[in-house]
Amino acid sequence: MASVFDLKRLGWGVGATLLTAALIWFGTGLHPFWPLMWFAPLPVLLFANRASWWGAALAAALGVMLGVLNLWPVFHGLLHAPWPIILQIYLSEGIAYALAVSLYRALLQRGAHRTALLAFPAVLVSFEYFLNVSSPHGTAGSLAYSQLQFLPFLQLASVTGPWGMSFLLLSFSTALAVGLHLYPTAPKQALRIGGTVAAVLVLVLALGTLRLYTPVHGPQVKVGLVASDGVAGENDQVLDPGAPADQLFARYALPVKALAAEGAQVVVLPEKLAVVLDQTLPETDAAFQKLADGSGSTLVVGMVRVGKDEQKYNEARVYQPGRPPLSYDKQHMLPPFESDLTPGTALTVLPHGNAAWGVEICKDMDFTPLSADYGRQGVGLMLVPAWDFAADWVFHGHIAIMRGVESGFSVVRSAKRGSLYVSDDRGRILAETSSASAPFATLLASVPAVHHHTFYTMAGDWFAWLTLLVLLYLLGRLVQLWKSPRRT
C-alpha cells in the first residue's frame, strides 16, 4: 500500500510540476499570454498542501526552471551569457520558488492560514526586488511585465511600481490554494480568505479602469520615429567614425526631413548609430543642427562618443532649433556588449511649456529610480533611442511602457532591430511599427505630452520595502509556531 501511495503522490508531483512549467512557459517569455500567470503557481501550491517539504520544494523549483527555459534563446543565443551566469539564473529562480513554497507550506500546516496566504508572494517579490538592486538587468525579470496588456491591472504600477503587481498576481493563486485546502473542513474561513483577495483585486481593477478611461487633458505633440535594421549590412555594428558615420547620418537625414515636413515636432533616431570622435564632433553637431534649424524639429540622435581621454559614452545628442546641442549619456549598460562604455550620471530635461521632455536610452528604462527622478522633474514625454535583438522586441522593448505608467509620462521609443512605438502614461500603445518594415522604417503619431503626478513617483519603492517587512514578520511567526503541532 505504501508503495502505491508513494507512486500516486509522485504522479501528482510530476503532473503539478509540468503543469506549472507549461503555464509559466506560455505566461511569460518573449510573447507572454498574460491570463496564464494568474494560475501558474497553483498546481505546485496545491501539491504542497499534502506533500512532504522536500517534495513541495522540488516541484516548485523544477516547475519554474522548466518554465523559464522559454528564455533560453535570450540568455544563450542573444546575450551570449557564459554557462556560470546561466546556471546562476536558473538555480536562483528555482531556489526562490522552493523557499516560497516551503514557507507557505510550513505556515499552512501549522494552521496559520492568513500568514500562509502572504508567504508565497512575499518571498518572490522580495527576490524580485533583490535582483532589481543587485543585477545589471534591473527589473527585467519581474513577473509584472507579463501583464502589460492587462491595462486596468497595469494602472497599479502608478501606485506600487511592479512590486505590487507581482504581489497581487501571486496572491491570486495562493488564495485559491489555501481556499481549496480549507473548504472541505472550514468552508467559511476558505471563503473569507478567497473573498479578501477577490475584493482587493476587484478594487484594483475598478480604480485601474477609472484611471484608464479618465480623459487626458493637455498638449499633444506630433512625434516622428525613424530606424533602419541594416543599410549595407549595418544592422549588427556601430559604424566607424569618419566617412561611414557621415554617410549613415546623411541617409537618416532624408526620412527625418520627410517626417518634419509632415509636422513632426520631434524626431527620435535609434541608439549607437555610429562612433563620433570628440575632435570631429563639432562637424557632426553642425550638420544635425542645420537639419534641426531647417526642419523646425527637435532631433534626438544616438551615437557612441569617444572623448579626448579615450573614454567612450553611449550618448544621445539633442538638437533643438535655434539652441545649442544638449547630450544625455546612458546610465545603465548591457554587459558584456557595453562593458567598455562609461555610464552617465545626469538627467537631460528639455523645458516645453507646462510639461518637460526627458531623454533616456534603451536599458535605462529597465530601472525604476531613473524614470522616477524624471517624473519628479515634471517630465511628460520621454524620448528613448534604443537597440533591441529583434526577437526580444516585446519582452524587452515594451518594458519602457511601465516606466511611463509609474512616473506619469508618455514614451517615444525608436529601436533598430525592434519596433518604433509611442505609448501614453496609461500604458496604451498609440502607434507601433516594426523597424524591419522598410529600409528606413518611420512612424508619425500624436501623443499627450503632459505630466501626471503618481503616488509611485512620490513614494518610490515603498511597496517593496513593505514586502520585506512582511517577510520578516512571517519568518518570526514561523519561529513561534515551529514547535507547535501540525494541524493538517
pLDDT in tens, 405-446: 999 999 999 999 999 999 999 999 999 999 999 999 999 999
What per-residue confidence (pLDDT) applies to 20? 98
Please indicate, yes or no, whether residues 169 and 249 belong to a single structural domain of this protein. Answer: no
Please indicate, yes or no, whether residues 108 and 209 belong to a single structural domain of this protein. Answer: yes
- Does the pTM surpass 0.75? The reply is yes
In a domain, 428, yes or no: yes
* Counted domains in the chain: 2
- In this structure, what CATH number is given to the domain that contains residue 277? 3.60.110.10
Please indicate, yes or no, whether residues 59 and 9 belong to a single structural domain of this protein. Answer: yes
Q: Is the pLDDT of residue 231 over 80?
A: no
Q: Give the residue-averaged pLDDT of 273-279.
A: 95
Please indicate, yes or no, whether residues 210 and 224 belong to a single structural domain of this protein. Answer: no
Band of residue 81 on the pLDDT scale cut at 50, 70, 90 = confident
Of the candidates 387, 429, 407, 435, the residue with the CA atom closest to the CA atom of residue 347: 407
Rg (Cα) of the chain, in Å, rounded?
A: 25
Of residues 235 and 84, more confidently modeled: 84
In a domain, 279, yes or no: yes
Please indicate, yes or no, whether residues 262 and 200 belong to a single structural domain of this protein. Answer: no
High-pLDDT (> 90) share of the chain, %? 88
Q: Give the residue-averaged pLDDT of 141-165.
A: 98
> Which of 77-81, 221-225, 327-331 shows the lowest per-residue confidence on average (mean pLDDT)?
77-81
Pairing of strands 356-359, 419-423: unpaired
Please indicate, yes or no, whether residues 409 and 473 belong to a single structural domain of this protein. Answer: no
Is the CB of residue 268 less than 8 Å from the CB of residue 383?
Answer: yes
pLDDT in tens, 91-131: 999 999 999 999 999 999 999 999 999 999 999 999 999 99
Please indicate, yes or no, whether residues 201 and 236 belong to a single structural domain of this protein. Answer: no
Write the CA distances from 326 to 3, 155, 301, 329, 428, integer angstroms.
73, 33, 11, 10, 29
Cell of 403: 516606466
Please indicate, yes or no, whether residues 36 and 69 belong to a single structural domain of this protein. Answer: yes
Domain range for residue 352?
A: 220-451
- Distance CA(192)–CA(57), nearest Å, equals 27
Band of residue 9 on the pLDDT scale cut at 50, 70, 90 = confident
Q: Give the residue-averaged pLDDT of 238-265.
A: 95
- Distance CA(141)–CA(324), nearest Å, equals 39
In a domain, 407, yes or no: yes
Band of residue 224 on the pLDDT scale cut at 50, 70, 90 = very high
At a CB cut-off of 8 Å and minimum separation 6, what does 298 contact? 265, 266, 267, 292, 318, 319, 320, 321, 350, 357
What's the mean per-residue pLDDT of the chain?
Answer: 94
At a CB cut-off of 8 Å and minimum separation 6, what does 243 contact? none
